[in-house]
Amino acid sequence: AAYEEREKRWAGAGRSYEPVLARGPNAGLHERAAHCLLNAQGDVKKALEHARAAVLDSPNDVKFRMTLARAYLAAKMKESALGELERASALAPSDDSIKEQIRRVKRGES
């Protein structure tokens, strides 16, 4: 899965994480699977499942929250995306890129 991700074979990488995750939950791998599926513009529902699992396991990880926000945006769930972005911003208050993402989503530019 990591090899396919490095090669930017997003759909294949997203699928390749599945058997690894079947062995047991891993927040980092769930996030990577979601990231790959989103980059492949693949199964948004599956990306949401992975992103949610990552956040449930590691709620204080900003990267995981950002991936979940991306998944919500892909699913056209703007309010949920804004909620995740706000939580990410609270975890990393000095990260101006998160604040900019919030502004873009509010303006409808996501």
pLDDT per position as a tens digit, 93-108: 999 999 999 999 999 9
pLDDT of residue 56: 97
The CA R_g of the chain, rounded to the nearest whole Å, is: 14
Asked if 105 and 73 touch (Cβ cutoff 8 Å), the reply is yes
Asked if 71 and 42 touch (Cβ cutoff 8 Å), the reply is no
Between 110 and 54, whose confidence is greater? Answer: 54
Helix residue spans in the chain (DSSP H): 2-6, 10-22, 27-39, 44-57, 62-74, 78-91, 96-107
pLDDT of residue 33: 95
pLDDT of residue 109: 84
pTM above 0.85, yes or no: yes
pLDDT of residue 24: 84
Q: Cα 17 to the chain's mean position, in Å?
A: 14
For 26-55, the three-class secondary structure string (H helix, E strand, C coil) is CHHHHHHHHHHHHHCCCCHHHHHHHHHHHH
d(CA 88, CA 95): 9
Asked if residue 42 has pLDDT above 90, the reply is no
